[in-house]
C-alpha cells in the first residue's frame, strides 16, 4: 500500500524551517512520500523542497485570503491524478509527528479518519462563532457536535476525493463573513452524517490532539476548556505530548501555540 503525507504552503522560503520539521517528523516514523503543494512558488522554492526529499507540486492560489479552503480543491485535484492509496492530509506549519499516524487505523472498517477536540461547538467560542457566520442555517444542528479539527484528515484516496470536494463546495456556498471555512464545513458534514465509513478518534485514543483546545494555551482556563473537555487532559512527559494513559500521541497539531511544548518538540529537528 502506497502512503503519502500531503499539505499546501505558500511563502515557502519564509516558512522552510516549519516545513522541514513537518516533513522530517513524518519520515522519522513512516516510509511514505511527502508531497507539498507549493502555492505561487518560485523555482527556488521548489528546489528547496527537492533538496530535502519533498516532492513539490506547483499550484496557483489567486486569492490567498481563501487559501484555507482553496487547499481542499488543489489537494483533491492532486489525489485525482495520483495512484497513492492512503493520504495523510494535514496543515503544514503547526503539525509534528510523534509516531506513525497509520498504525492505529482500522482500514477494514473505515475509510476516513479524523479527530475530535473533546468539547462541543457550543463549548468552544471560536468554532461557534465561525459556524454561525459561515453556515448560520446549520448552527443549531452543530451545537452539540464535538469539534472536529480539519487540520489532520487521513483516508483512502477515493473517499478523500469525495470528502474534500464536499468540503470545498460547502465552503464556496457559505457566507464570506469569515475566511477560514474548512473546519466549519467538516463539522457540518459530520453533524449531518454525510461522511461514510468515518472514524472519529478522541483524545484518549492517542492518535491526534489539537493544542488550541486541549493544550495549556492562554484560553485553556479562560474559556473553561479544563472543565469542559470530556476526556483526559494531554500533557508533556519525557519529551512527548501524551494522553491520560501516558501514551504519546501520533500527531500533535497547533503545537506552536504552547511555547514550552514547541521548544521541546522541535529540539530534535533543529
Note the pLDDT tens digit of each residue in 119-142.
Answer: 999 999 999 999 999 999 999 999
Q: Return the percentage of the chain with pLDDT > 90, whole number.
A: 100
Which are the contacts of 258, defined by CB distance < 8 A and separation ≥ 6? 211, 215, 216, 217
Other Cβ atoms within 10 Å of 51 Cβ, number: 9
Q: What's the pLDDT tens digit per position in 155-210?
A: 999 999 999 999 999 999 999 999 999 999 999 999 999 999 999 999 999 999 99
- In DSSP terms, 242 is beta-bridged to 235, 248
> Measured between alpha carbons, how far is 7 from 133 in angstroms, rounded to an integer?
26
> Measured between alpha carbons, how far is 229 from 244 in angstroms, rounded to an integer?
12
> Measured between alpha carbons, how far is 159 from 205 in angstroms, rounded to an integer?
23
Q: Is 68 helix (H, G, I), strand (E, B) or coil?
A: helix
Q: Compute the radius of gyration of the chain from its Cα atoms.
A: 18
| pLDDT of the residue at 242 | 98
Sign of CA dihedral 247, 249, 250, 255: negative
Other Cβ atoms within 10 Å of 23 Cβ, number: 22
Mean pLDDT of 75-101: 98
| pLDDT of the residue at 270 | 85
Domains plus CATH for the chain? 3-269 (3.90.550.10)
pLDDT at 261 over 90: yes
Q: What's the pLDDT tens digit per position in 203-233?
A: 999 999 999 999 999 999 999 999 999 999 9
Query: Is 208 in contact with 253 (CB distance < 8 Å)?
Result: yes
Cell of 35: 508531497
DSSP conformational letter for 98: S
Identify which of 10, 92, 16 has the alpha carbon closest to the alpha carbon of residue 52.
16
Amino acid at each position: 500500500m502506497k502512503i503519502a503525507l500531503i499539505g499546501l504552503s505558500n511563502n515557502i522560503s519564509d516558512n522552510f524551517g516549519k516545513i522541514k520539521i513537518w516533513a522530517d517528523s513524518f519520515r522519522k516514523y513512516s516510509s511514505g512520500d511527502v508531497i507539498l503543494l507549493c502555492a505561487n512558488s518560485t523555482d527556488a522554492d521548489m528546489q528547496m523542497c527537492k533538496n530535502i526529499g519533498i516532492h513539490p507540486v506547483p499550484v496557483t492560489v489567486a486569492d490567498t485570503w481563501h487559501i484555507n479552503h482553496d487547499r481542499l480543491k488543489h489537494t483533491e485535484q492532486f489525489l485525482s491524478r495520483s495512484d497513492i492509496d492512503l493520504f495523510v492530509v494535514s496543515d503544514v506549519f503547526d503539525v509534528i509527528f510523534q509516531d506513525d499516524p497509520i498504525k492505529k487505523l482500522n482500514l477494514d472498517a473505515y475509510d476516513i479518519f479524523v479527530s475530535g477536540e473533546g468539547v462541543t461547538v457550543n463549548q468552544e467560542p471560536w468554532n461557534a462563532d465561525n459556524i454561525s457566520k459561515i453556515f448560520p442555517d446549520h448552527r443549531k444542528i452543530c451545537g452539540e457536535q464535538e469539534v472536529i479539527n480539519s487540520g489532520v484528515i487521513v483516508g483512502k484516496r477515493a473517499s478523500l476525493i469525495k470528502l474534500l470536494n464536499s468540503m470545498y463546495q460547502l465552503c464556496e456556498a457559505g457566507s464570506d463573513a469569515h475566511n477560514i471555512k474548512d473546519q466549519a464545513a467538516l463539522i457540518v458534514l459530520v453533524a449531518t452524517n454525510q461522511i461514510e465509513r468515518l472514524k472519529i478518534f478522541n483524545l484518549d485514543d492517542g492518535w491526534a490532539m489539537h493544542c488550541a483546545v486541549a493544550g495549556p494555551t492562554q484560553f485553556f482556563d479562560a474559556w473553561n476548556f479544563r472543565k469542559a473537555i470530556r476526556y483526559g487532559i494531554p500533557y508533556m512527559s519525557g519529551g512527548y505530548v501524551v494522553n491520560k494513559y501516558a501514551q504519546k500521541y501520533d500527531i500533535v497539531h497547533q503545537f506552536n501555540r504552547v511555547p514550552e511544548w514547541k521548544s521541546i518538540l522541535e529540539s530534535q529537528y533543529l
